[in-house]
Structure 1
Amino acid sequence: MDPRSEVLLRQAELFRGPLLIAGPAPDGLLGQLPEAHGWSWHAGDQALLDSRFPGRCHYGTEVPEVAFDAAVIFLPKSRELANYLLTALASRLAGKALFLVGEKRGGIEGAAKQLKALGHARKLDSARHCQLWQVSIEQAPPAPVLTDLAQRFELALEEGPLQVVSLPGVFSHGRLDRGTALLLQHLDQLPTGKVLDFGCGAGVLGAIVKRRYPQSEVTLLDVDAFAVASSRLTLAANGLQGVVLSGDGIDAAPVELDVILSNPPFHTGVHTDYRAVENLLAKSREHLRNGGEMRLVANTFLRYKPLIEAALGNCEMRVEDQGFRIYQARRQ
């Protein structure tokens, strides 16, 4: 069981009534708290929890419409997302309790300071390298409007500016990361047809490909509900059409693709996690048509070339710059 869940269960008497758990780990916690519901924005976690506890975990970017007398937030990596969750849940809990649990390495002590703006906060427990905090909501804040919290910025491109819309919690929130910036310089001579932007984030790659190759059918895929919502906003802001999917990795992607583009993730929260990208590389052959191409950017310390060669039989390093490499391979 996740150590954060273990810390909660040390204080199980506090969580016996109707409870909403935001960002729960995909473990057996809901089974120990029969009146609890979960709120997840990670498609993989949601699928696991829904298979074990049908109807008790709700996926999306908004507070689910279930009754609860208290709420627990599993502290996310993103401070902006934590702020949104705190405000969104506190707005529903006037005179009631809101709990925050997280790992020390994840910044729980700093995040707990934000609770003081909501009421009297106190630390309840410290164990398993985690802490559990509680605040009694003295004055509920107004419910936040998620789109009002979006960061909007413009990319200056040769074909004209691109408007990017990034919601809290999305990778590289409010800015273009260096890896994607490098990949954008090497989108020349892409095959046209069915294109996948894997791990789409705010939708930068997918939007630019659709604008440069309007005849292509572009699909954007991400595991995170906030990224999916951001990509849809980015496409709409630029008058572009694309299919945006929520799913846990390459298994959720279409097949017979002509192109897979990616700046693939290798973190889950504060932890390193290569499963999604290793699965992408291993199964790329199943999703590309014959002659289809994969082009991705990765940090130089990530040894992806042998994995790509094992899957597709070939791999070219197109460029290395500023700590990143761009790999290109074709299904033969």
Structure 2
Amino acid sequence: MINPTTRVYRKQLIEGFSIPAIIHNGSYFFVDIDVYADGRVECWHFEDIEHFKKDVRRGWVVSGIPDNNEISIHGLGSWTIINGSWLFDKESFIDYVLKLIKELNPALENIYQYSQKTVNGIKIGESGNGSVYKEHKRTPNDLFPEKITGESVNLFYKVNNEYYLTKVLVFPDLTISLSRLEKTVDINLEEFEELINKEIIVSEIPAGSIVNIYGLGSFTVQEAQYTTDIKEKLLEVRDLIKELKGEPSAIDVCREAYQRYIDHPTLNNKEQLKISYEAVPDHQKMYVGDMDTKDTAVRMIIYGEQEIENWSHYRVAKAMGEKLPTIQVPTPKEESDE
């Protein structure tokens, strides 16, 4: 047998829908789950339709939240809710997802069957997070329109004194779509900022407000546990546009400034680190460091070593009377001292 010496691979594009749901993992986390034409559903697990059914029936994926519990919305906030009114129960939600798969794949061809992948005895997981996109037709009869990839954030869209939890789709050409509504609203960045100034698009809502989630249900806000300032969300949107255009994000710039300071701990590099860190949206500052220390080391450099006292590992160790963990950061020097 002749052994080929050139290896190849291919990528497969599988269409899908993104729909709202709740992950019940101790607390209730609002998510968009991605439903694909091959029957796979991304719901923090990415297996196959039979596994998805089990996830719904065992309460991992839910379509509503009991009153007096909190809904946590990533990057936006957490609220205690009452007067919940939800569209689905377990079986009707499963049926809804099956209908979406049928719409995407009428003949139900090539439905995926999951098998656990292992490499050297280690279980390998997959991410099924889809890419949001819009189509750009180069000609009126373009059969294969270009897919322009975007990013998304969650915000509230105020209509007649009620709020809609909208999925804000952001694209590199400065266009924005307010999705997860009965009818998508297409605007540009300037119009988006104007809606923020008019308090039509907001990140904080008063107690007693009615919130609608198109395709899932509605509830009344009883109390906010924490929220994100709309100015920080606008910074995030602008940052996403930079990334989509191939430019470094504020987090990337800060990480580079941090590494530059570690390599050359000068007063000037410390000041540049401070400027870049403070340009990162507040709710994203934790991502400038690693998974353990978050932004603690950066804050220690900028604001002083006492910042370690706010590090979760430090606080837990102190509360338990254990040896306190440390983080070593270099002291800044004058340029001439190097």
TM-score (norm 1): 0.24
TM-score (norm 2): 0.24
Structure (1 or 2) with the larger CA radius of gyration: 2
